Amino acid sequence: MKKMNKFMMMFAIALMAAFTFVSCTKEGPAGPAGKDGVDGENGINGVDGTATCVQCHDNSQTLFAKTNQWEHSTHATGGNFERNTGDCATCHTSQGFLGFHNGTYDPTAEGAAISNPNPPNCYTCHNIHSTYTTDDWALTMSGPVTLYNTTETPDFGNGSMCANCHQGRPVEPFPAVGGADITITSSRYGVHHGPQANVVKGVGLFMPGTGYANSAHSNISNTCVTCHMAEAYGTQAGGHTMYLGYDYHGTAELNTAGCATCHSDIDGMLAATEALQEEVAALLADLKTRLDELGATNPGSDNSVSGTFAPEVAGAVLNYKALTEDRSLGVHNPTYVKKVLNNTIAALPAK
């Protein structure tokens, strides 16, 4: 205790001495006045952080309209985005699709899978939130599409966006006219659901015989988009629903908004559409009966039967499935579809 007090006392004395010294220092006379500074230039106004955002996020209701249409589309509601592994994820998930095309998702890698899979959505088709300007409405895919099962690379205009997914999947080995027999080992033999791009352009199907030609529908500018994304009928058809057929108080109707640019007689066109679809449905039914007789399919099922078949039979199974899954019953390419079906049936061996 004593020691401490002594130390504190010495410290206090030292402190007082220091203060005395400081207070002895006197202030000198004021120096000469400094030069008057020149005013600096005004700064440039900053850019409003949200100026470009409101080009899209405005009150025009456009974003809501497109979003509402999309929410009613099969893209949003189909539920098959759960097909999120390997190659399935390249068409069934948004991230797998973009990743496959920019090289960041390898569908052949062991156990390749997309976590938190999203169905096709705004970000799949548009560059949303890349530059945060309206430039982001640009489509993520454009130009010629390298289709599977063919060396052709057709350009669908804005429809190239669609053709990247709505095309036949690879078939190995693909039957060749007059070629080797084909051994079918799976009930799912064929090009899979959604081979619309092939049908529209008349490529990548089995094509026996001669006389093939495409309809004018093959070369419609922006193809799929012109017919499927025409002026919307509510949330039932057109626009971002992408449907063509809709229900009008119990009657099945077709959204003809996209057809009207070329077909001025809409009633005549609707009658021709109905006749065409009936004709194609009848040809498909004939083909199915023949495939059942040949043992390549069983009555009442579209599954293929495993076995070794002549290429004309395997090709007929492939065409039957592809033109059934196309689901336009000929409208995608009327001239071509009728020719393929007639030639396919004619090429089948007697049972």
Query: What residues numbered 292-321 form the site for ligand HEC, per CB under 6 A?
Result: none
- Which residues in the 49-88 window bind ligand HEC by CB under 6 A? 50, 52-53, 55-57, 62-63, 66-67, 70, 74-75, 78-81, 83, 87-88
Task: Decide: is 112 part of the binding site for ligand HEC (CB under 6 A).
Answer: no
Whether residue 208 is preceded by a cis peptide bond, meaning omega within 30 degrees of 0, is no
- Say if CB 100 and CB 273 are below 8 A apart: no
The smaller minimum CB distance to ligand HEC, of residues 118 and 179, is found at: 118
Q: Stretches 14-22, 35-43, 219-227, 310-318: which one binds ligand HEC (CB under 6 A)? A: 219-227
Q: Stretches 25-33, 172-180, 259-267, 301-309: which one binds ligand HEC (CB under 6 A)? A: 259-267
- Say if CB 317 and CB 311 are below 8 A apart: no
Give the C-alpha separation, 16 to 20, whole Å.
Answer: 6
Residue 166 Cβ vs ligand HEC, minimum distance, rounded to whole Å? 3
Residue 184 Cβ vs ligand HEC, minimum distance, rounded to whole Å? 17
Give the C-alpha separation, 304 to 188, whole Å.
Answer: 6
The smaller minimum CB distance to ligand HEC, of residues 231 and 293, is found at: 231
- Say if CB 200 and CB 332 are below 8 A apart: yes
Task: Decide: is 280 part of the binding site for ligand HEC (CB under 6 A).
Answer: no
Task: Decide: is 100 part of the binding site for ligand HEC (CB under 6 A).
Answer: no
Task: Decide: is 122 part of the binding site for ligand HEC (CB under 6 A).
Answer: yes
Task: Decide: is 95 part of the binding site for ligand HEC (CB under 6 A).
Answer: no
Give the C-alpha separation, 208 to 312, whole Å.
Answer: 8
Tell me how far the alpha carbon of residue 132 is from its chain's centroid. 21
Whether residue 173 is preceded by a cis peptide bond, meaning omega within 30 degrees of 0, is yes
Q: How many residues does the chain have?
A: 351
